[in-house]
Chains A and B, each alone.
Chain A
Amino acid sequence: MRVIPFRSRQPRPAKPVALDDHARDNIRFIRETMERAGSFTAIPGWGGIAMGITAMGAAVIASRQGSPSDWLFTWACEAAVAVGIAVWTTYSKAREAGSTLFSGPGRRFVYSFVPPLFVGVLMTLLLARIGSIEEVAGVWLLLYGTAVVAGGAYSIRIVPLMGLCFMVLGTMALFCPLSWGNAFLACGFGGLHVIFGAVIARNYGG
């Protein structure tokens, strides 16, 4: 029990201010709940940076490969590494925030993110079969961009912007000389991931 002096019990002049603050606090509470409930915020910034760095490494290694199939194999390995990083960092960021990948927003994110990637795999197989695997850079960038834009509709606003940048790069790659493909991949999967990853890590908690 605490003894409160009688006079200080009714701080009358402060009352309207407190009421005002209370209203502000209520609105903030509603907004935060809506954001938490409506969008998937577990996009890992540090994961993006890590994926960007491995992609740059992969671009350097891939550029030294003699045959198109070795080049493709290098990038396929990088894709596997990137998926591993993405799943692990997203999972841990979601868990830290007390949500899961398969809560309402997380599930919607995954459902819109995965189909374009699946199409990307099919297109890669198709291009490999008809012997024009060099064309694949633009296709990868475009479809990854589509996945990020689609999934990002349920996430923080910067995510669809990153997807859009990927799509712009992909479009450029389609209409530029094929020999630039590897450089476009380095810019996209390397550069864009590092830049946006850093922004997300700084502004959106890791």
Chain B
Amino acid sequence: MAAKPGAFRSEREEKKRSAPAPHPAKASAANLDRLIHERTRLAIVSALAVNTSLAFNELKDLLRVSDGNLSVHARKLEDAGYITCTKSFSGRMPKTEYRLASSGRRALEKYLNHMEALIRATRES
């Protein structure tokens, strides 16, 4: 990062900061939750927000993604503590069940607020 453009930007930022909503460009770059910004992960979190739990296959059918794709993205969310994953057996078939953790629910709310703020800010400017 070069110092000069940064300094210039912060000067402009000061002006914008006096406005009630943060400027969209700055707000998005700084604190956008990259983890759920990605489409598949956003879909996983959204789907789990309206269901107490969803099995791997249900989620896969719902989001129309491949096995590998879903498990990779679900793993990332699980590592971040956004969703919880329980593995069990029904008969001999392994069953993976996903639930939204409270931090995941908060992250989704925050993301939605973020998007709304972005729209408001653009409308005002």
The residues of A with any CB-CB pair to B shorter than 8 Å are 15-17, 19-20, 23-24, 26-27, 29-30, 33-34, 36-38, 98-100, 103-105
Q: A103–B125 contact, CB under 8 A?
A: no
Q: B61–A37 contact, CB under 8 A?
A: no
The residues of B with any CB-CB pair to A shorter than 8 Å are 24-25, 28, 37, 39, 42-43, 46-51, 54, 58, 61-64, 108, 111-112, 115-116, 118-119, 122-123, 125
Q: A104–B58 contact, CB under 8 A?
A: yes
Whole-angstrom distance from the CB of B124 to the nearest CB of chain A?
11
Nearest chain B residue, comparing its CB with the CB of A31: B46
Residues of A within 8 A of B123 (CB): 20
Interface SS, B side: helix
22 intermolecular pairs with C-beta atoms under 8 Å apart: A16-B24, A19-B122, A20-B24, A20-B119, A20-B123, A23-B24, A23-B116, A24-B115, A24-B119, A27-B116, A29-B43, A30-B42, A30-B108, A30-B112, A34-B46, A34-B47, A36-B47, A36-B62, A37-B46, A37-B62, A98-B61, A100-B61
Nearest chain B residue, comparing its CB with the CB of A99: B61
Closest 10 CB pairs of A and B: A38-B50, A37-B47, A20-B122, A33-B46, A23-B118, A23-B115, A30-B46, A34-B50, A33-B43, A34-B46
A16 and B122 CA atoms in complex are apart in Å by 7
Nearest chain B residue, comparing its CB with the CB of A32: B46
A29 and B115 CA atoms in complex are apart in Å by 12
Q: CB within 8 A of B54: which of A15, A20, A27, A104? A: A104
A36 and B61 CA atoms in complex are apart in Å by 11
Whole-angstrom distance from the CB of B123 to the nearest CB of chain A?
8
Q: B64–A98 contact, CB under 8 A?
A: yes
Residues of A within 8 A of B62 (CB): 36-37, 99, 103
Given A20-B123, A33-B46; 18 other pairs, CB 8 A cutoff: A16-B24, A23-B116, A24-B115, A26-B42, A27-B112, A30-B42, A30-B46, A30-B108, A30-B112, A33-B47, A33-B63, A37-B46, A37-B47, A37-B54, A38-B47, A38-B50, A98-B64, A103-B62
Q: A37–B50 contact, CB under 8 A?
A: yes
Q: A17–B47 contact, CB under 8 A?
A: no
Residues of A within 8 A of B46 (CB): 29-30, 33-34, 37
A89 and B87 CA atoms in complex are apart in Å by 35
Whole-angstrom distance from the CB of A21 to the nearest CB of chain B?
9
Asked if A34 meets B49 with Cβ closer than 8 Å, knowing A16-B25, A103-B58, the reply is yes
Residues of A within 8 A of B61 (CB): 98-100, 103
Nearest chain B residue, comparing its CB with the CB of A30: B46
A23 and B24 CA atoms in complex are apart in Å by 10
Residues of A within 8 A of B37 (CB): 26
Residues of A within 8 A of B108 (CB): 30
Most B Cβ at <10 Å: residue of A15, A19, A29, A105: A19
A149 and B50 CA atoms in complex are apart in Å by 19
